[in-house]
Amino acid sequence: MKIYWILLGMLLSSVLQAAPKKVIALSWEATEYLLALGVTPLAVADRQDYQQWVVEPRLPEQVLDAGSRLEPNLERIYALKPDLIIINPALAGIQANLQKIAPTLLLDSFRVDHDNANAAERLQRQLAIQLNRLAAHEAFLEQQKTELTRLRHAVNQRFKGQPPAVCIVRFASPTRYWTYGDNSMPEAAMAALGIKNACPQPRSAWGTHLRQLPELARLDTGLLLHIAPFNRQADLERSALWQALPVVRTQRVRALPAVWTNGGVTSITRIAQVIAKALN
C-alpha cells in the first residue's frame, strides 16, 4: 500500500513541478503540520512565543516572524512573496486579502462537531497532498504510530496493564485552572496510551474548560499532571486548600514541561511522551 502512495507521490511531483515551496504558516497548528512534513516554512506567526510555548517540533533558525497570530503583518508577507499561506478560522476575515498575495489555505482544526485528533491527521494529509509530500506524511504517521505503541507498551509494562487515570490541567490563577476534556489533544494522547481521563469534561471546540480549585478535591484516584510554566506556583502551593487536597497529600501531583495542547499529531505524541515520563 505504502509503495503505491510513494509512486503516486513521485508521479505527482513530476507532473506538478510547481508544488509550493515558499510556505507561510499563520497558525501554530499549521506550523506543526509543516514541520512534521519536513517542510521548513518561510515565516510563521508569533515565532518567539512559539519557541517558548510549543517548543517541539523545533523551529529552524532561518524561519522569519510573520507578526502576530491575530494580525499578521500583511506587508511583510507580501514582500516575502510566498507560494502558499496557511491560516486558521481566526483569520478567516482577511482570507480575501491574503488570497491577493498568494493561494491561501484555511485549515479548520478545532471544531466541536468533529474529532480534533482525527481532523489533525486529515488536515495534515490534505496539506501533504498540496505540497506534494504524501510520502513524507505517510512515513511521519508510521513513525508516530510506532512511538505511541512503544510508549503504550512501556506504560502497560510499568503498571502491569492497570495504568492510573490522569487529570491534566494548566493553572490560570491560584484559584482557577483550565482542564482538558473530550475533544482535547491531551485526552487523545491519553487514549493513545490506554489511560483514562480522571477529570472528564463535556465536549467543546478546543476541549478546554475553566474550573475552580475545589473541584480537584473530587480527584480520588489517579494523578494530577499540571503543565508548566505557571508563574504563581508558589502562591498556589502555599495555600491551605492545595495542601489539603487528597491528590496533594498522597503525593500524586507531577509537573509536565511546557507542551502545546492545541497542536496536531506531533503534539499528541509529545503529550503522550511527557505523560509517560511523568508516570515513571
Q: Which residues bind other proteins (CB under 8 A)?
A: 46, 49, 52-53, 64-76, 78-80, 90, 93-94, 96-97, 100-101, 171-176, 178, 202, 206, 208-214, 217, 230-232, 236, 238-242, 244, 246
| The three cell numbers locating residue 73 | 503583518
| The three cell numbers locating residue 108 | 479548520
Taking the least distance from each CB to other proteins, the nearer of 41 and 174 is: 174
Taking the least distance from each CB to other proteins, the nearer of 3 and 79 is: 79
What amino acid occupies position 96? A
Taking the least distance from each CB to other proteins, the nearer of 37 and 56 is: 56
Neighbour-count burial of 115, counting CB atoms closer than 10 A to its CB (0-12 exposed, 13-18 middle, 19+ buried): middle
Find the helix or strand (DSSP H, E) in which 137 lies: helix 134-159
Please, what is the minimum distance in Å from the beta carbon of residue 48 to other proteins?
Answer: 10
Nearest Cα residue to 265 out of 83, 101, 159, 115: 115
Q: How far apart (Å, rounded) are the C-alpha atoms in residues 44 and 59? A: 9
Please, what is the minimum distance in Å from the beta carbon of residue 272 to other proteins?
Answer: 23
Please, what is the minimum distance in Å from the beta carbon of residue 180 to other proteins?
Answer: 13
Please, what is the minimum distance in Å from the beta carbon of residue 46 to other proteins?
Answer: 8
Please, what is the minimum distance in Å from the beta carbon of residue 75 to other proteins?
Answer: 6
Taking the least distance from each CB to other proteins, the nearer of 10 and 90 is: 90
Q: How far apart (Å, rounded) are the C-alpha atoms in residues 19 and 83? A: 9
| The three cell numbers locating residue 152 | 503504550
Q: In 3-state terms, what secondary structure has residue 234?
A: helix
What amino acid occupies position 203? R
Taking the least distance from each CB to other proteins, the nearer of 97 and 143 is: 97
